[in-house]
Structures are given as structure tokens and as C-alpha cells.
């Protein structure tokens, strides 16, 4: 059967398989939503899978499926659409079929005809695991309902249902002879289940695993099962008896994955200790340790021919290694962690963002998207960036570290501001660029002299913990602070005393913003509303219609006619006079944590939790709005 909704995605796949010229395109402009002119960041990496021919690598991210050339590391294409962002995906051994989950169903797509071969339905809840048997004739699907279903991949027939799991049937792997299926849950079940594929009978359970299980894999002879553990160990089990044969130690913290080479002579493991280790089998001796990832290694797999390894890390890089020598062949970058903060320069020519997973801050040209400069120095994820009004400096705060102030022209680190016990998710400059205000997770507001780095004032104030949680009035006299107590407090920056407490929201206030003329204050909340206040009197002027989800970010347009607000996956443009939505921008796959207008009001930049920054052409969007009226 064919599904017309999949046609655009399948056309993309056709071009991929025919080695189209898509690789020559600029990936920042691939498959953009309406109104967007560029996307920066490829999203967070969720899983890796080699194509069966071994020449391409599929990287499932939070925004879609990226396809890379293994030899060059070049991005060939991006497949977007709901089906590519779900829980599990598996390629058949012959390369003819890809199975992808969509909630509680499995879609089988023929990679040659581009037809949807079948939809496998029967699970009641979300499917977490997929695995083809070695000859590709049977597909196993595991669900959070605790069942495993075995399907005939040719007819779509349900062959049998395996029951007995006490947790999610999440981790699935077949023995190399295809006779057994092993399953486990990465939760707190700590149990491995071994099933007879032909009869569906539960052969045995392995209950002596000491910690949470992160991966399972059979040896080439199907006699041993390796399981990776959150306690840093790798356990080798006798499949026939269920007894433990060996424990491999050496990783200092949780092992995320452990898989055998096809010939069974090597076991490779990736760990949260940032290393990849290759173990000689069956002796268990450590053969080699690979280093290079800046943070935890979350997954590592062999290519089908066993010549290369692909690994993914929390540094959001994908690395390709020579499996024999351990040499790093390629590093695929551009995947990003959380784009929590974005900011335009005062002249609108550049914008900065905090999406980079290597703790750096990129500065890009607004018109071309060209990367102009990278600010390097943070040792943790950057959660807030802001330009000074004069455009000379850029301030940034990280999750745990100090605040840094940079020279925009040279990229030089000018000042390191140390004082917050934890990170500073909220920053604001005074209008004269002389003072920087920071809101920290240590429940303090701090005022700094930008020129000297001197701490001028500290006062206790709970903030909401977002980069939009504080806003300084244009005249510099008042600081608005949103918090989890459902209120907004207005502080006098000269005295450090509370001037007013604004009540109206029913849940945490996550974002606040002053208008450019000092008269209005807007606030967004997890109660899904936006409130408009008189900045001097604290009077509630207007409550906007409820948004689709919690409001995580908010900004006034320069002409004070429009408010932009970010929620889960959606940006709303609302008329300031009426509060009514005038445009809805979709394209982010997670919470929109930051939003900013360009100084001329013609562009909007937004940062999302899925790790991408979107640049929007508001002139085009407003033209479309007028045409639709």
C-alpha cells in the first residue's frame, strides 16, 4: 500500500539512493519550514545506523535523519518528517527495507520502489525497539506495554507475541544463527530475557545483572551475550546456562554500548568516561583505547564489513574510526546540544547563539549565514548570550561556570566574572553598555562593571532559571525578574529593593521583556499565557489568548506592534493591541527557548531545545499574512 503523506520524504530518498547532487547544496537551507531562510545546527544526535552497503551512515537527530558519506564525512541529505524523529529505526540486512516506528506502529518502507510496504499495528503503547533477524525475514518490535511482537516482513503477518517482560521491551538483538532473541530494558528491571524465536518460548532470564542495562549483543558463535552496564562494567554471559562467564572492567563510569565485531574477535565499548575501548575476544584483554570525544560516548557501532567504527557523543560529534588501527578518520560536526539563547547585534548584521556542543559561541552573518567568528573559552554548555547596546562586547553565561565578556571585533576574552555559585542563565546589559546584570541559579542577581569586571551589587532574587527570566528596562532603573512563585518582581537597580510585585499568572513565569519605550512589560508563563503590564504602575493591561503550550521565550518587535513568543515547537506572532495571533511559525522540534527581533524588525531568530537556530524572514511572513486576509 502507498501513503501519499510519505511522498515528499520518499522522493528525497530516491534522490539519495541515486546519488543525487544534493550534497552540493548548503545544508542550512535544506527542507526549511515556511518563512524560514536558514537553519543552523543539525539537532541533537539520537542514534546511528550504517546502511547495509557500508558506504553511508544514517544519523537520527532531533530534527530528522541525516545521511552521511562514510568516506568523506559529507552530509548527503536530510530526511525530515515525523517518522524520522521517533524512537527506533532498523535497516534490513539486504538493504531493501527500512523499518521506522511511529508511536505504536511500525512502517516498512521499500528503499528501491519508495513505497510503504506495510504498516504493522498491534502494540498498545509506544514502540521502543526494533531488530531484524539475520536473514531479514522476521522483524521484532518491543513496546512499553512489555510485549515483543515478531512480524513476517514479506507478508506483514504477526507471527507471535512474546510476553513476560516486567518493563519496557526496549533493547532487542538476535543471535547470529537467528534462533534466539535477547531483550532488556534500560530502566530499573536489570533483567535480560532470552527467547526461542521459533516457538516464542521464554528460555531463561538472567537476573544477576548488578546495574541498569544499556546494551546487549550476541557473539558471532551465538554462545555468549555481552551486556553493558551503567556501573561501568561489561558482563559476558553463557547463553546456554545463563551463568556469568566474565566481567570486563576498565571504564570508570557507565558503559553506554558494547557490540561484537562480525567475526567475534573484538568487542567495542563506549562509555560516559569519554573513551572507546576495544577488547580482544574471548580473552577479554584490552587491545586499544580510543580518545577524542569531549564528553560521554553514548553509542558505538561497527560498519557491516567491520572495517570502521562510528561513535556518537554528548559533544554532539559523530566520529569515524579505523577499526583495526584505531585511527580517527573523520569527525562529523554541526550537530548541536541546546540552542538556549540567541541575540542580534545592535546593527543587525550579525547574530550570536549558544547551540554549539563544544562550549563555543558562533557569530554569523545575518544575510548569508556565514560563520564569521567563534568565541572559545567556556568549559561548560553556554546557556545565555547577549550583545551590549553599543555592539562592542558580547556577554555569555554557562551552566556551571563564570560569565565571560568578549570583544566582538577581535573575539578576545576581555573579562571573566566570577561570583555566582552556579551558572548564570539570564543576562541583561544597561542601555549605556557599562553595566551587566546576571541572574543565577544560586538565586542571586548581580550587577557588574563591564569595563573593570568589578561586582557592584548583589541581592537575593529567585529567578525562573531560563535565559529569558530577567529583563532590564531601557533606562536601566528597573529589573524585571520572573520566578517559579507565579509572580514578577520589579527591582530598583540603584537600591536593590523591590519596587512592585506583579500577580496574574497561575504558574511559573519563564520569560519577561520590556518594550523599547520603557512603558510596557510582557511576561510568559508555563500557564500558557502572555500578560501585558504597565511598567510603571504594574497594572495588568491585557492577557493574551492561551498559547498551545508553556511560553518559554518572549520579545517585542522594535515598532512595538507585535510580540513573538516561543512554546513547544512553535513560534507565535501576536498583535500587541489585541493579543490575537497573526502568524504561527513551526519548524522547531522542541521548546523554543529564545527569540529575538533584528533591530529593523525584518528578521527573527529563534533557538530551540532540539539544538537548532532558525532564522526567519518576517517581511515574507507578513506579506503572506496580508495575502491571506
Residue 13 confidence (pLDDT): 39
Q: What are phi and psi of 162, to 5 degrees?
A: -100, 120
Classify domain 208-335 at the CATH class level: mainly beta
* CATH topology agreement for domains 208-335 and 342-628: yes
Domain spans, the chain: 1-21+45-206, 208-335, 342-628
Give the list of residues 6+ apart from residue 598 with CB closer than 8 angstroms, or none: 344, 348, 351, 366, 604, 605
Measured on CA atoms in the order 221, 108, 169, 266, is the torsion positive or negative? positive
Q: CA–CA separation, 220 vs 525, rounded Å?
A: 55
User: Architecture of 342-628 per CATH?
Assistant: 7 Propeller (2.130)
Supply the pLDDT for residue 10.
Answer: 38
Residue 458 CA to residue 69 CA, distance in Å, equals 53
pLDDT tens-digit series, residues 102-127: 889 999 987 766 578 899 999 999 99
3-state secondary structure (DSSP) of residue 403: strand
In this structure, how many other beta carbons lie within 10 angstroms of the beta carbon of residue 192? 23
Q: Indicate whether 58 pLDDT > 60.
A: yes
Instruction: Please give the residue that has the higher pLDDT: either 281 or 536.
Output: 281
For the beta sheet containing 202-206, the strands, ordered from the edge strand earlier in sequence to the opposite edge, are 171-174, 180-184, 192-196, 202-206
Pick the CATH number of 1-21+45-206 from 3.30.428.10, 2.60.120.20, 2.130.10.10, 3.10.290.10: 2.130.10.10
pLDDT at 225 over 50: yes
- The pTM of the whole model exceeds 0.85: no
Nearest CA-CA partner of 37 in 625, 629, 468, 621: 621
Cα–Cα nearest to 71, from 326, 335, 329: 329
pLDDT tens, position by position, 499-522:
999 999 999 999 999 998 888 999
What residue has cell string 552530509? 75
Is 190's pLDDT higher than 60? yes
Percent of the chain surpassing pLDDT 90? 58
Q: Which residues of 291-315 are buried (b: 16+ CB within 10 A; e: fewer)?
A: ebbebbbbbbbbbbebebbbbbbbb
Strand ranges inside 354-497, DSSP E: 361-365, 371-375, 382-387, 393-398, 403-407, 413-417, 426-429, 435-439, 444-449, 455-460, 470-472, 478-482, 487-492
Q: Which range, 45-59, 385-399, 476-490, is most confident?
A: 385-399
Does the structure show a pLDDT above 60 at 474? yes
Q: What is the C-alpha separation between 470 and 455, in angstroms, rounded?
A: 18
> The cell 573523520 sits on which residue?
330
Task: State mean pLDDT over 592-601.
Answer: 93
The pLDDT value recorded for residue 606 is: 94
Amino acid at each position: 500500500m502507498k501513503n501519499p503523506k510519505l511522498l515528499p520524504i520518499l522522493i528525497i530518498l530516491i534522490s539519495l539512493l541515486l546519488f543525487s547532487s544534493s550534497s552540493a547544496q548548503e545544508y542550512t537551507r535544506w527542507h526549511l519550514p515556511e518563512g524560514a531562510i536558514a537553519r543552523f545546527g543539525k539537532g541533537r544526535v539520537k542514534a546511528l545506523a550504517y546502511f547495509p552497503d557500508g558506504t553511508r551512515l544514517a544519523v537520527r537527530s532531533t530534527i530528522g535523519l541525516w545521511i552521511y558519506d562514510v568516506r568523506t564525512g559529507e552530509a548527503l541529505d536530510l530526511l525530515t518528517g515525523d517518522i524520522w524523529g521517533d524512537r527506533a529505526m532498523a535497516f534490513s540486512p539486504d538493504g531493501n527495507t527500512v523499518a521506522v516506528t511511529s508511536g505504536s506502529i511500525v512502517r516498512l518502507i521499500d528503499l528501491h520502489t519508495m513505497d510503504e510496504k506495510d504498516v504493522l499495528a498491534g502494540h498498545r503503547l509506544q514502540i521502543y525497539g526494533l531488530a531484524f533477524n539475520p536473514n531479514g525475514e522476521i522483524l521484532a518490535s518491543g513496546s512499553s506495554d512489555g510485549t515483543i511482537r515478531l512480524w513476517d516482513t514479506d507478508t506483514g503477518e504477526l507471527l507471535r507475541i512474546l510476553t513476560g517482560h516486567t518493563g519496557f521491551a526496549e533493547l532487542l538483538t538476535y543471535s547470529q544463527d537467528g534462533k534466539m532473541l535477547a531483550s532488556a530494558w534500560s530502566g530499573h528491571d536489570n533483567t535480560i530475557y532470552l527467547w526461542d524465536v521459533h516457538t516464542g518460548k521464554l528460555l531463561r532470564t538472567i537476573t544477576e545483572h548488578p546495574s541498569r542495562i544499556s546494551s546487549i549483543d550476541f557473539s558471532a558463535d551465538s554462545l555468549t551475550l555481552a551486556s553493558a552496564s551503567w556501573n561501568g562494567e561489561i558482563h559476558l554471559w553463557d547463553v546456554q546456562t545463563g551463568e556469568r562467564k566474565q566481567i570486563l572492567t576498565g571504564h570508570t563510569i557507565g558503559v553506554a554500548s558494547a557490540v561484537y565485531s562480525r567475526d567475534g574477535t573484538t568487542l567495542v565499548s563506549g562509555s560516559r568516561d569519554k573513551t572507546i575501548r576495544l577488547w580482544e575476544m574471548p580473552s577479554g584483554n584490552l587491545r586499544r583505547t580510543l580518545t577524542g570525544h569531549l564528553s560521554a560516548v553514548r553509542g558505538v557501532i561497527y560498519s557491516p564489513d567491520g572495517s570502521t567504527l562510528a561513535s556518537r557523543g554528548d559533544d554532539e560529534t559523530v566520529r569515524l574510526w579505523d577499526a583495526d588501527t584505531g585511527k580517527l578518520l573523520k569527525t562529523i560536526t554541526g550537530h548541536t546540544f541546546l540552542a538556549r539563547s540567541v541575540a542580534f547585534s545592535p546593527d543587525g548584521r550579525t547574530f550570536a547563539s549558544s547551540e554549539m556542543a563544544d562550549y563555543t559561541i558562533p557569530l554569523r552573518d545575518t544575510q548569508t549565514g556565514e560563520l564569521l567568528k567563534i568565541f572559545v573559552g567556556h568549559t561548560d554548555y553556554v546557556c545565555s548570550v547577549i550583545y551590549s547596546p553599543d555592539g562592542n562586547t558580547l556577554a555569555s553565561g554557562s551552566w556551571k561556570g563564570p560569565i565571560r565578556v568578549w570583544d566582538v571585533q577581535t573575539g578576545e576574552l576581555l573579562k571573566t566574572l566570577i561570583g555566582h555559585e552556579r551558572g548564570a542563565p539570564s543576562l541583561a546589559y544597561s542601555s549605556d553598555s557599562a553595566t551587566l546584570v546576571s541572574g543565577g541559579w544560586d538565586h542571586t542577581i548581580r550587577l557588574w562593571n563591564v569595563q573593570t569586571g568589578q561586582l557592584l551589587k548583589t541581592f537575593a532574587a529567585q529567578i525562573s532559571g531560563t535565559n529569558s527570566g530577567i529583563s532590564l528596562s531601557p533606562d536601566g532603573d528597573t529589573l524585571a525578574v520572573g520566578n517559579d512563585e507565579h509572580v514578577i518582581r520589579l527591582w530598583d537597580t540603584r537600591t536593590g529593593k523591590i519596587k512592585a510585585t506583579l500577580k496574574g499568572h497561575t504558574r511559573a513565569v519563564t520569560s519577561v521583556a520590556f518594550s523599547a519605550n520603557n512603558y510596557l512589560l510582557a511576561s510568559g508563563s508555563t500557564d500558557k499565557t502572555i500578560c501585558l503590564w504597565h511598567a510603571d504602575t504594574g497594572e495588568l493591561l491585557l492577557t493574551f489568548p492561551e498559547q498551545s503550550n508553556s511560553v518559554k521565550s518572549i520579545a517585542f518587535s522594535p515598532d512595538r506592534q507585535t510580540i513573538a513568543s516561543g512554546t513547544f515547537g512553535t513560534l507565535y506572532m501576536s498583535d500587541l493591541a489585541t493579543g490575537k495571533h497573526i502568524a504561527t511559525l513551526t519548524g522547531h522540534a522542541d521548546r523554543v527557548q529564545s527569540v529575538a527581533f533584528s533591530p529593523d524588525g525584518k528578521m527573527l531568530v529563534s533557538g530551540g531545545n532540539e539544538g537548532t537556530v532558525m532564522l526567519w524572514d518576517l517581511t515574507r511572513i507578513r506579506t503572506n499574512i496580508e495575502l491571506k486576509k
